[in-house]
Amino acid sequence: MIPLSFKYSITRHLKEIIEHGKKEKIRLVTSLYTNDTALYRETFISLKNKLLVKKAKDGDWGYFISHLAQQDYKHQDLWHDEYFQNRYGMQKIYDIIKNKSEQNLKILDIGCGNCQLLNELRDLGHQVYGLDLSAIRVLKNRKILKNIEFGYAEEMPFGDNFFDIVIAQEVLEHVFDLKKVLSEIKRVLKKNGETYIQVPYKNYIESNNHLRLFSMETLNFWVNKYLKVKDIQIIPYKTNGAENNIFLSAIKDDKIDVEFYLMDSFEIYQYLPIYRELIKEGYDAKFVCEPQATNVAKNWFDFENSKKILEDLNLKYTQKANPYAKFAMTTQRAYYLSKYLNFKISLQYGVGLNRTNFCSTKSATEGFDARLVYGEYTKNKIKNFIDENNIYEIGSPKHDLYFKNPPQKEQIKNQLGINTDKKVLVYFPTWDEDSSIMPFYDELKKLKERYFVVTKAHHCTFRRPEKKQDLQALYEISDIVLEGNYGFSNAAVIADIALIDAKSGATCEVPYLVKDIPILFLSVRKNLKEYFYDDIFEFGYLINKKEKILEYLEKIETFDKFAQKRTQKISYYMGSCDSNSTKRATCAFNDMLKKNLAAADSN
């Protein structure tokens, strides 16, 4: 308990300040706004300010109580800025609560001072409670409001899950232990209860009594470790004054929010199994489908198509990112999560064996707190760019259903109307400068004479206007062209033989799904050794001469000498060939959450 002692005299205050000043020379510098300085400031505006910070760190409660008692004794009337009509933040909180439909809410104001705000909220018909460390003000206010308690915010004299709303206005910069106070706010709040917090913005308003300094980022960082931040903004301290305070609202919600930020519709199917499993686990998971005007990917994003898919599949989505979501995920660079302030996660969407493959690069890794990758191959490529403990090998979640309930080849062929005596050749071209569609067009067109050609087109070939010529060419060289978001596993399972652009993720994905089928790899690159890792030359024949296509197809039809090696090594690239990838991804989220909470405790 706090020792209720008023033995400290003004003389002792001055003596301690002088003695402290002799030991350390005080230097006035501009404060740095880090997560650490939000715990205790490291630069000071005076000797007294530095001494108060030291007393807080030492846990000298008696000193603080005495300090406040002397301060209040000298000035017992309200300061000008304590009146309701002069405080913008008080009026803002009042308006928020006034517009609520709920009646008779239990509301706590921490550091309630002279109860200006509580008096107004009581008149709205709510049950109001106050807590303050100033004995003089507590005794004075108890004559007007009965539920005013003397005590400190680090150990509130209230039960668990008691309040609908907790207010901490101009308080957190003064308290002894920020983490304990935030933990207490969470404890006394009911489920889905709200808190409204106001603090000075940086050092725009200074006082000897300010033990810490906040920026919007650091306030969000600490509050979000205990509660779910909903909004944060800069507001004036005084009515009609300069914008020099931070106002934050948060709720007590035990569901951890996860946002899957979309910049391409193909990502929906990558995220879908993880999204569904996280919801089962109690996470608040949702897709973020922002229109092109606000989407980080701008005009690249196929907004209307993505929106239609989400609605057809009845998936939870929002058209506006929540910067304070606990976890945010993308398949692209960390730049695409630039709106988010908390934990950023990368989900691998393909394995390529070329040296410039995006998923294995530094640029695909920097800026993330964690990466979820397929197998050991990618982990080894990126472990120099991120803490190895934050790389999770999970396999390929989107193929879990395939391994759990493999599609039947003949059934898929019947669904596609394939009724032929020819062998089915499935062609997997990429879409960019490495696409073989136009460079190998003439030879590819001849394949229809020998095979029933099915093309699994890249999703970008379908939706990008500049790829219309490529798409038209695919219809000319193929018996069937499968649209971009057609199930990859269904396309792979009908193949008697596969023809794959070597840069494509299909290079590893096809043998991951279908064992022992003959595969031929194509590339438009002149120097294959320079462009690809040696791994691909153990995976199959790789050719860059279009006139050789039919020759090598006939060769692998007779005997594909690489098939057994591919089968043996595929898990190194793609992860375990089982139906548990989604569960491993969920375990990764649980581990990340555990680390996040542990970091909050240690900090």
> Scanning the structure block, which residue is given the tokens 């472990």?
383
Give the per-residue pLDDT at 382: 96
Is residue 597 pLDDT above 80, yes or no?
A: no
Give the per-residue pLDDT at 59: 84
pLDDT digits (tens, 9 = 90+) for 302-334: 999 999 999 999 999 999 999 989 999 999 999
Q: Rounded CA gap, 432 and 311, in Å? A: 30
Give the per-residue pLDDT at 566: 94
Stretch 208-215: mean pLDDT: 91
Mutual angle of helices 61-74 and 47-58, in 10-degree steps: 140
Quick one: pLDDT band at residue 68, thresholds 50, 70, 90? confident
Is residue 13 pLDDT above 70, yes or no?
A: no
Mean pLDDT (the chain) is 90
* Ranges of CATH 3.40.50.150 domains, the chain: 1-254
Q: Indicate the length of the chain as a whole number.
A: 603
* Ranges of CATH 3.40.50.12580 domains, the chain: 405-574
Give the per-residue pLDDT at 240: 85
Of 387, 401, 584, 595, whose CA–CA distance to 487 is shortest? 401
Alpha carbon 108 to its chain's center: 31
Of 539, 556, 584, whose CA–CA distance to 523 is shortest? 539
The answer to whether 69 touches 6, Cβ cutoff 8 Å, is: yes
Give the per-residue pLDDT at 144: 85
* Stretch among 210-214, 470-474, 595-599 having the lowest mean pLDDT: 595-599
The structural architecture, per CATH, of the domain 405-574 is 3-Layer(aba) Sandwich (3.40)
* Ranges of CATH 3.40.50.2000 domains, the chain: 257-396+580-598
pLDDT digits (tens, 9 = 90+) for 292-301: 999 999 999 9
Higher per-residue pLDDT: 26 or 453: 453
Q: What is the dihedral of CA 152, 157, 162, 168, to 10 degrees?
A: -10
Q: Rounded CA gap, 399 and 270, in Å? A: 9
Q: Which CATH class is domain 1-254?
A: alpha beta
Tell me the H-state helices in 363-487: 376-382, 400-404, 409-415, 441-446, 459-463, 468-477
> What's at 84, amino acid-wise?
F
Structure tokens at 88: 């913008």
What is the DSSP secondary-structure string of 356-412? T-GGGSSTTTTT-SEEEESSHHHHHHHTTTS-GGGEEE---GGGHHHHHSPPPHHHH
The answer to whether 444 touches 477, Cβ cutoff 8 Å, is: yes
The answer to whether 283 touches 256, Cβ cutoff 8 Å, is: yes
Quick one: pLDDT band at residue 8, thresholds 50, 70, 90? very low
Q: Rounded CA gap, 325 and 337, in Å? A: 11
Of 487, 507, 489, whose CA–CA distance to 499 is shortest? 507
Stretch 397-409: mean pLDDT: 95
**Would you call 184 exposed, middle or buried from its count of C-beta atoms within 10 A (0-12, 13-18, 19+)?**
buried
Q: Rounded CA gap, 542 and 527, in Å? A: 11
Superfamily of domain 257-396+580-598: Glycogen Phosphorylase B; (3.40.50.2000)
pLDDT digits (tens, 9 = 90+) for 406-431: 999 999 999 999 999 999 999 999 99
Mutual angle of helices 61-74 and 10-23, in 10-degree steps: 120
Phi and psi of 371, rounded to 5°?
-130, 135
Q: Rounded CA gap, 455 and 435, in Å? A: 13
Radius of gyration of the chain from its Cα atoms, rounded to whole angstroms? 32
What residues form DSSP beta bridges with 344?
328
Calculate what percentage of the chain has a pLDDT beyond 90: 74
pTM, two decimal places? 0.78
